Structure 1
Amino acid sequence: MKKFVFILLSFCFLFSCHQFQNRSIGLVYVVNVDEAQKSDFYSMFDSVAYISLETIDDNEIGQIDRILYYNEKYIITDRLTNRVFIFNDDGKFYSAIDAIGNGPGEYVQITDVAVDKFEDMIKIQDAMQGKIVSYDLDGHFIKETKFPIFPAPMQFCQVNKDKYAFDYQRCSKEKEWQYNLSINSEDFSGKISKYLPYDKSLDVCFSPRVTLQDVNGEILYIPLYSSTVYTIDSSDVKPRYIFDFGNKWVSQEFIDTKWKDALEFRNKLNDVNFVYYFNLLESGSHICAEFMYKENKYHMVIDKETDHLFLQQETEAYKCHYTENPMCCIGNQFVIPLTPFEYNSMIGEDAVQLPDDNNPVLMFATFKKF
């Protein structure tokens, strides 16, 4: 597939926070939402590149939910078709996993996906059936593992050859499992280490898109309703970053409220004076985060080398050209899926346009140093 590259030359930024180091809690960034820059977010891009995902019959992607990169392959989950697609790193289709059902080797719903780097397996987590189903990179079923607990974890990530981190997202009513995170074997045999306890389970909640991620071999964790990002190893969980939004961060009283349904909760979020939908990814060189505040979307980029922060508020004049947030990092690049329409709009009419029924395009964005 052709790869198109262009450089965005304009550059503007605002240092709208200050940071300090506390050895016990990690690096703290104080974020002042009221000082967000109303300017073009794309001015922060150093370069972008595109790879179009090959479109072939019976393997059309509906809407990308998760992207992983492993062994020169993109592993993509589709929330609409409930399938996993594997593409080579040139965008050529390689294989797919389509095993929807209730039987062995099948799943009802993909709640998360991970890669076993030691055994070259793709692992699909099905929280509805309470199991992990493992496949090879060609999409062939290998094995499945049942969870011995209920409710099942919602997201997971491999920590080392023998252990995984499991995120429960405050859903358990059993005191024994009222912890946000556990680190243990896939089948929960042997030692189980539990972290970040809570007192009340939640009936309605919305989490960051990716709560567990691998950044160059380091596992990062963002708990539900947390502005603290943790680093995980096989034996400990330590604060990595804290983003201090002051009184604009969601209160404990609001978190513990018993909501009647998800619609009521979502409507209330638009009325309160809180930051919400905080989502973060980290590349080798930058931290990129998005959040909502008073129905406005904000983008935050931190240069890890200098600790300088750029904060931008979306307005009608400076609205993002794409709907999805970054979903994956490869080295210093943030991977953002684009619809064919979004891609065509970004490259301009003079470039080769894609048909509307083409599979999505992956955009690879790197940020400037500042």
Structure 2
Amino acid sequence: MKKLFILSFVICFTMCTPKPKTGDAIFADLDRPEKASLFDYFHSIELIPLETSSDILITGISKIIYHQEKYYALDKPQSIIFVFDKTGKFLFKIATKGQGAGEYSFIQDFTINSFSDNLEILEPYGRIHIYDLSGNFIETKRIAYPGFKVAHSFTALDCATYVLHSKYEPKKIIYFNLDEQKLLHEEFEEDMSIGSYSNIPYQYQNDWFFFRPFHPVVYKMGKKQLKVAFQFDFGKYTKEGRTAVLSKESEKNFAKNTEEMFAQFSYMIQSVRHNSKYIFASLFWKDEDHKANIIYDKSTGKSKYILDFDEKVWFNSYRGEEIIVTDEYALMPIQWVDLEKRITKEMLDDKQQAILEKLLQADMEQNPILIKYWFK
């Protein structure tokens, strides 16, 4: 009788204990790559060179926003936002680095606030500088509450509510009322040692999404807290990815740190983007030399894990490039030196082939090029 009671208890406990819901997860078998062509998803590719001159030199684009037919591109090392028209012609730049009124010391992140239609620049230690879309300074606001240290990215959920992301704080997400200077909510706890492997939130239409390199869940930023948007299932390799066990040596040696991270997690998610048709993810697999893509087709409910496309070119983010994905196209900035790794002549029509040839024959290094992939 006692054994029967114990058995009944175990069955009840097993059936009644909530389990993670993985039935709707995006499955990818990391041991079985599949073949795919970029033209399975896109019908054409367009090159948009950003104007280059001695006065317009970009070291690299860490973030790009397309708004009202203009490209706003952040060059973080120079702390400059360059603005180009839709053809890549230079228009103006925001470069007011300094210590005076209306100046910033460093640009950690920037956004275009959809509620005010102003451009906002984030300094990591709590200042938000506000400009109009022509680059004219308006005002500076501060993030200040007991315990605040640093923010590495930000976005506005409404006129007053901002979500801040901090790499190194134990809780990575901070909901903050900028007008009232009030901390609303903190969440997503994670080891500080994982903080340096950071992904900034991304936008699709009017919503913002947050993901982490070793954590298989992508969250939508709700008005008050994070909500699960979708998640990945990597089979036996899937881990929650919020904690890591690292040696003392790895604290000072980044190569050792990376080696130990991959030994524990196998994969590192570099980028996630989605639209109404697809979910795209790029990741490193086993080490930083093995790059892979996952493309999930919402219409079929199936995903492909791709190590090499038929075109033998890189696709998605491998140097931390900012990517824009809409329902019409995917767009990413690439360095001129990587051009031949990203595109081949055979992938382009006659007009685009001429642009490619001109870029390859340039006698000086060019500014980044925007590659625009048009969906079928």
Q: Which moved more, 1:39-48 or 1:231-240?
A: 39-48
Q: Do residues 142 (structure 1) and 138 (structure 2) align?
A: yes
8 Å CA contact 1:86–1:95 kept in 2: the answer is yes
The residue number in structure 1 matching 2:296 is 302
Q: RMSD of the TM alignment (CA)?
A: 3.2
* Residue type of the alignment partner of 2:135: G
CA 1:331–1:29: 2 relative to 1, 3 Å: closer
Q: 1:73 deviation in Å? A: 1.5
CA distance in 2, matches of 1:340, 1:293: 26
Post-superposition CA distance 1:258-280 (Å, at most 9, x none): 64133431243455561114321
Name which one, 1 or 2, has greater alpha-carbon Rg: 2
Counterpart of 2:166 in structure 1 is 168
The 1-side partners of 2:201 and 2:70 are apart by: 20
Q: After superposing the two structures, state which structure 1 stretch, 346-355 or 289-298, moved more.
A: 346-355
Give the deviation of 1:241 after TM superposition. Answer: 0.6
* 1:119 equivalent in alignment to 2:116: yes
Query: What CA deviation, in whole Å up to 9, does each residue of 1:54-108 have, x standing for no partner?
Result: 2244122111111111222111111332211111222221221112233433333
- Is 1:131 aligned to 2:139, yes or no? no
Match of 2:11 in 1: none
- 2:162·2:176 contact (CA, 8 Å) conserved in 1? yes
Distance in 1, Cα, partners of 2:184 & 2:90: 39
Fraction of identical pairs, as percent: 20
Where do 1:11-30 residues align within 5 Å? Answer: 27-30=24-27
Aligned CA distance change for structure 1 residues 233 and 316 (closer, same or farther; 3 Å):
closer
Distance 1:42 1:59, change over 3 A: same
Partner of 1:281: 273
Report matched runs for 1:210-359 at 5 Å.
211-223=200-212, 225-249=214-238, 255-257=244-246, 259-261=250-252, 262-269=254-261, 271=263, 274-295=266-287, 296-314=290-308, 318-320=312-314, 324=319, 325=321, 327-343=323-339, 346-347=344-345, 351-352=354-355, 353-354=358-359, 355=362, 356-359=364-367
Are the counterparts in 1 of residues 212 and 269 from structure 2 also a CA contact under 8 Å? no
Q: 8 Å contact 1:249–1:275 — kept in the other structure?
A: no
Normalised to the residue count of structure 1, the TM-score between the two structures is 0.79
For 2:23 and 2:115, the matched residues in 1 are separated by 30
Deviation per residue, 1:159-192 (Å, 9 max, x gap): 12221211123x22xxxxx422122223562461
1:206 partner amino acid: Y
Cα distance, 1:222 vs structure 2? 1.2
Matched, 1:179 2:182: no
**2:6 alignment counterpart:** none
Deviation, structure 1 residue 252: 5.1
Residue 50 of structure 1 contacts residue 363 of structure 1 at CA under 8 Å; is this kept in 2? yes
CA distance in 1, matches of 2:21, 2:242: 26
Q: Which runs of 5+ in 2 are unaligned?
A: 1-18
- Cα 1:111–1:187 change in 2 (3 A) is farther
> What is the rounded CA distance, in whole Å, between the counterparts of 2:245 and 2:263 in structure 1?
17
In structure 1, the partner of 2:373 is: 365
Instruction: Say which SS state the counterpart of residue 291 (structure 1) adopts.
Output: strand
Name which of structure 1's ranges 138-147 and 312-321 shifts more when overlaid on structure 2.
312-321
Distance in structure 2 (CA, Å) of the matches to 1:250 and 1:23: 12
Alpha-carbon distance in structure 1 between the residues aligned to 2:231 and 2:139: 39
The gaps in structure 1 that reach 5 residues or longer are: 1-21, 173-177
Q: Over residues 127-164 of structure 1, what are the superposed CA-to-partner deviations in whole Å (9 max), with x where a residue is unaligned? A: 1x332222222222222222224321211112122212
Match of 2:12?
Answer: none
Tell me the CA shift for residue 33 of structure 1: 0.4
**Taking structure 1 as reference, are residues 319 and 239 closer, same or farther at Cα in structure 2, changes over 3 Å only?**
same
Q: Distance in 1 between matches of 2:44 and 2:197?
A: 32
Structure-2 residue corresponding to 1:11: none
Distance 1:203 1:273, change over 3 A: closer
Deviation per residue, 1:214-242 (Å, 9 max, x gap):
21112211146321011123234210111
CA distance in 2, matches of 1:196, 1:253: 9
* Alpha-carbon distance in 1 for matches of 2:21, 2:181: 32
84, 95, 103: which one pairs with 1:98? 95
Query: What secondary structure sits across from 1:202 in the alignment?
Result: helix
TM-score by length of structure 2 reads 0.78
Cα deviation digits, residues 22-70 of structure 1 (max 9, x gap): 9978941122101112555565433222222222441221111111112
Number of aligned pairs?
A: 337
Stretch deviating more after TM superposition (96-105 or 318-327): 318-327
Query: 1:5 matched to which residue of 2?
Result: none
